[in-house]
Each structure stands twice: as C-alpha cells, then as structure tokens.
C-alpha cells in the first residue's frame, strides 16, 4: 500500500505503492541483526587457530581463505546495513592492510551491545555519544600500550609473523616468509617513507611454496617474439617502443595490378626492405632487449633473433609502466627517435618456462624502484591464499616501519582498552555511562573469540587475562604448537602495528553508530 498523509482533509500519497517502509524499533532491530550476522560469519577465522571458509560462487568458482575482507567481499550480501560492515573491512584493508576480521567482529559486537541498551530505553543518540567518547578513550589506551622498543628488522619480522600466523603459508613457516617480507619492504624504503606501490606479488602455480623468492625487479607474463632469441641477457640495454614493427598499411583499401614477375619481385623487395630497415635501426642502436606495445612481424623477429636481440611484443600498458619504473627506460613512439639516452638498463633479463606459461624477469634495473615477491605453490588455491597472506604482511610491515609504533598482540591491547574505558566510565554522568561501559564489553569480544578459537573457555580466559593485566601490565593469549598460555606478548614476539588497532576502533565505531541511529528504512521495489 502507498504511504499517505492527510492534508486539508484529503489524503496525499507520498510513496509509491511498490515502496516498503520499516520504522522505529523494527528498523533498528533489522539493521542491527543484519550487521551482527555478517560479523558473526567471520568470527571463527580470528587468531592463530582460526578456521578457513570455503566460498563457492554461482559459477562454481571456489575461494578458500580466512582473510576477513576477502570473505566479506566474496559473500553475496544485499542488506544495506550488513553492507556497511563489509565497508568496515574494506576500509581497514585499504588503510592498514590487516585487522579486517577484528574490525568487523568489533563492529558487530558494538551493534549487539547497542541493541541491549535500546531495549532498556536508552536513546540511540545517547549511545552514539557514549560510543564516540569511549572510542576516544580507547585511542588513548592504545597510545599507552605503544612499545618503547626501536622498530628494527627483528620487530618488523615479528609484525609480519604475527600477521601471517594462522593464515595459509603453504609449506613455509611464518618466520621464513617474514624474513622475505621485511627484506622486500626495506628494498622500497626511501627518505620520504615506504614506496609500497613499488612492491608487486606475482603468483605462479607449480613447485612448492618453498620456491617463493624475492625478485629485485619485476616479473611479467611475456614470452620472446621468436624462439631463436636469447633467453638470458646480462647487463642489458633496454628500449621501450610504441611502434608497430610490421608492414605499414593504409587506411583505405586499394588494389595494385602486377603485370610481370619483375613487378612482383620489386614489391616483395620493397616489403623486405621496409622490414629490414626496422631490424637494422634497432640493431644499430646497440639495444639488447626491446619491449614494444605493438606487434612484431615474424621476419623482423627472425632478423633480430639472428642478431641476438631479445624482443617482447604486444605488452600491456601496465607492464610497460612497470618496465619503465624498474629500468628507467623512456617510451619512444618512432624508430627515428630511438636514441641511447632513452635506453633503460637492467643487470639481468631472463625468461623462464613454468608448465605452459612463459615469464620474463627484469632484475637489477637502474631505476631500482620495483621489487617482486614471486610466489609459488602446488595449487591455485594455495598460491591465491599465500598471495593474500603476503599482501597483508607487506602492508602491516610498511605501516609499522613508517609509524615506528607497535603494540602487544594476542588480545593484550584489547584487554588494556576495555580496562581503561571501564575506569573512565565511572566518572561519566548520566546514561552515557552505560554506553561507554557497553563499549568496553564489546571490546572484550576480541580476547574472548581468540580464547574460543583455541579451545579455551572464553569466560575463564577473560577473567585470567584481566587479572594478569592488573598485576603484570601486559597479558595476552600466547599460542604455541602444544598449548595456549597467558603471558606478555612482547616477550613472545606477538606484536601488531598501533595503527591497525586505531583503525579498527575508529572504523568499527563509525559503522556501529551510523547503523544504530537509523530508525526508518524506506526501500523501493
């Protein structure tokens, strides 16, 4: 039925008959329930003993992962409030690269606590004000937890390992991958910070994950334009062309009448001369390796192969950009403009065959701005998850290196946040105190979930963690191969970038308060 309002005694239709409207408590309850359901779907993936999810698409595609952002992105979520929780994970991923599950679970539990308060007749505006005040206190607690140790390679390695623990690392240990990640980020460290955009992760199915390596350059899916070309060039001069090395054709169709063999031979000689000119120009320039965004005639490729020039044709614009970034080469639009000043340089250009795939490795470029983690794995599912794992680790190591701030992991920082928020709540007057206390209860979901996912009783673990925090100052759930104990995460190398915790608190609070304030949902069919 159409929504209507009375005006001057006459009904006035405001919404179409196809519209649906949910108001008041029903709207709040529906939105909160949707947000909680999405958060709950990733809760079991949290922590070093978190479980994976298998996501099967409508076309049969399968994704196996425990990465929160990936799970939520792959799910077919339609409810607008639930979509806001997905956006929390996306924001966390974009800003700091990790902590997506933490942010999503926290947002869901904040909504659950808000629902309880609403049922107790606490106004949504009061809850929002209390949550924002609690978030401010939480950020102060995070600042207090920042470790005073220098963020050196050892600490960065621990950050990487903490990020990867419990995720898919194939046959490699988190420690082994952590060393590769730290070396990679150090390679792109500059005076202005970390050039994270210069790091690529290239996956290749085949061999075990133990074959994963750091390539000081770039890797592209390209093969030589001719089988007779060299596959390994040392100290290579490189040209990058936007030139078609094929016979020039006009835009207008035309026919030529040939009356004799001499005319035919002259036409063939003209073609050969044109193609010969291309090859001679390139050879005379002294270049060793050529990348071109257009095609190369087989005859030109054969002539260049005989001269020992390695050519890659029809490369994409992104690959061309990467080649330029790695080698310092300038793009040339005409062979007449080909000069040595435009050349790039690489210590080593080589091609390798992997099953049916051919890859080109450009290593030790003179510009030295790019580096690639070349990921190997026995199956596509393994390399895909390994790519996600390494990508998150690269992001958090870059974040920790730039900020120079790390905090204890394993739930210790969340215990400290909840403790400080509860202490500060006692000094707040009015019903806002209830919202602030509820925020602290919501933060407890992180250590409780970590405990549950390791098989410990979450309530007993939470009590023990609070007692240890009160007496020792730092207390988290330390998981090793045999047991789960309570101890100082910093002593056990379990550390997280402080910015990951800050972003999780801020993004989860923003989403939860936005959803809690909604009391009217109007949808058009």
Residue with tokens 């595609």: 61
Q: Which tokens is 340 given?
A: 């040595």
Catalytic residue among 44, 45, 65, 100: 100
Phi first, then psi: what are they for 158, rounded to 5°? -65, -35
CB within 8 Å of 41: residues ≥ 6 apart = 53, 71, 72, 75
State CA 132 to chain mean position distance.
Answer: 28
- Residue in the block written with tokens 């390209």: 222
Told to judge if 190 belongs to the known catalytic residues of this protein, a careful annotator would answer no
DSSP 59: T
H or E element at residue 438: helix 432-443
Q: How many CB atoms lie within 10 A of CB 488?
A: 17
- Between CA 168 and CA 202 the distance in angstroms is 16
8 Å CB contact between 313 and 295: yes
End-to-end CA distance of the chain: 12
Q: Which two tokens stand for residue 307?
A: 């001269």
Four-residue CA torsion sign, 188, 194, 199, 201: positive
Active-site annotation holder among 52, 288, 319, 392: 392
Does residue 523 contact residue 516 with C-beta atoms inside 8 Å?
A: no
Q: Which of 45, 70, 101, 327 is catalytic?
A: 101
C-beta of residue 373 within 8 angstroms of C-beta of residue 265: no
Q: Is 384 a catalytic residue?
A: no
Residue 457 bears catalytic tag: no
Q: How many CB atoms lie within 10 A of CB 399?
A: 25
Of the residues 52, 67, 297, 342, which is catalytic? 67
Strand partners, 344: 238
Kindly state the helix (H) or strand (E) to which residue 404 belongs, with its residue range. Answer: none
Told to judge if 101 belongs to the known catalytic residues of this protein, a careful annotator would answer yes
Alpha-helical (H) ranges within 250-379 are 261-285, 298-306, 317-327
As annotated, the active-site residues are 67, 100-101, 392
């Amino acid at each position: 039925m159409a929504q209507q309002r009375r005006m001057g005694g006459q009904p006035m239709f405001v919404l179409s008959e196809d519209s649906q409207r949910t108001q008041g408590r029903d709207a709040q309850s529906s939105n909160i329930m949707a947000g909680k359901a999405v958060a709950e779907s990733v809760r079991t993936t949290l922590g070093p003993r978190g479980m994976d999810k298998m996501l099967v698409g409508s076309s049969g595609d399968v994704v196996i992962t425990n990465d929160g952002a990936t799970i939520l992105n792959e799910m077919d979520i339609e409810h607008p409030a639930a979509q806001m929780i997905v956006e929390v994970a996306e924001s966390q991923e974009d800003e700091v690269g990790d902590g997506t599950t933490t942010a999503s679970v926290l947002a869901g539990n904040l909504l659950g606590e808000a629902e309880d308060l609403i049922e107790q007749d606490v106004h949504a505006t009061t809850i929002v004000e209390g949550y924002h005040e609690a978030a401010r206190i939480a950020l102060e607690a995070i600042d207090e937890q920042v470790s005073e140790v220098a963020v050196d390679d050892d600490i960065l390695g621990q950050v990487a390992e903490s990020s990867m623990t419990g995720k898919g690392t194939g046959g490699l240990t988190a420690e082994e991958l952590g060393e590769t990640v730290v070396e990679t980020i150090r390679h792109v460290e500059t005076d202005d910070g970390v050039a994270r955009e210069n790091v690529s992760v290239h996956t290749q199915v085949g061999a075990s994950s133990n074959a994963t390596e750091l390539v000081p350059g770039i890797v592209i899916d390209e093969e030589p334009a001719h089988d007779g070309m060299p596959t390994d060039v040392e100290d290579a001069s490189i040209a990058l062309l936007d030139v078609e090395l094929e016979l020039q054709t006009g835009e207008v169709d035309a026919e030529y009448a040939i009356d004799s063999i001499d005319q035919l031979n002259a036409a063939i000689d003209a073609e050969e001369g044109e193609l010969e000119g291309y090859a001679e120009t390139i050879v005379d320039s002294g270049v060793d390796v050529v990348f071109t965004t257009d095609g190369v005639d087989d005859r030109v490729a054969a002539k260049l192969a005989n001269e020992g020039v390695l050519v890659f044709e029809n490369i994409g614009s992104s690959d061309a950009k990467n080649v330029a970034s790695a080698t310092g080469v300038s793009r040339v639009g005409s062979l007449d403009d080909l000069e040595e000043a435009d050349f790039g340089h690489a210590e080593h250009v080589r091609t390798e065959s992997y099953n049916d795939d051919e890859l080109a490795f450009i290593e030790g470029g003179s510009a030295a701005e790019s580096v690639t983690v070349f990921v190997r794995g026995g199956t596509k599912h393994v390399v895909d998850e390994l790519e996600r794992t390494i990508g998150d680790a690269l992001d958090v190591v870059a974040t920790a290196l730039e900020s120079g701030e790390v905090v204890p992991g394993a739930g210790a920082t969340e215990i400290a946040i909840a403790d400080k928020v509860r202490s500060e709540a006692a000094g707040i007057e009015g019903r806002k105190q209830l919202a602030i206390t509820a925020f602290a209860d919501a933060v407890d979901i992180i250590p409780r979930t970590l405990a549950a996912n390791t098989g410990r009783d979450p309530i007993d673990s939470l009590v023990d963690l609070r007692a240890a925090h009160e007496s020792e100052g730092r207390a988290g759930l330390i998981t090793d191969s045999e047991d789960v104990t309570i101890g100082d995460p910093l002593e056990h190398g379990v550390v997280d970038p402080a910015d990951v915790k800050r972003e999780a608190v801020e993004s989860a609070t923003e989403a939860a308060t936005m959803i809690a304030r909604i009391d009217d949902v109007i949808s058009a069919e």
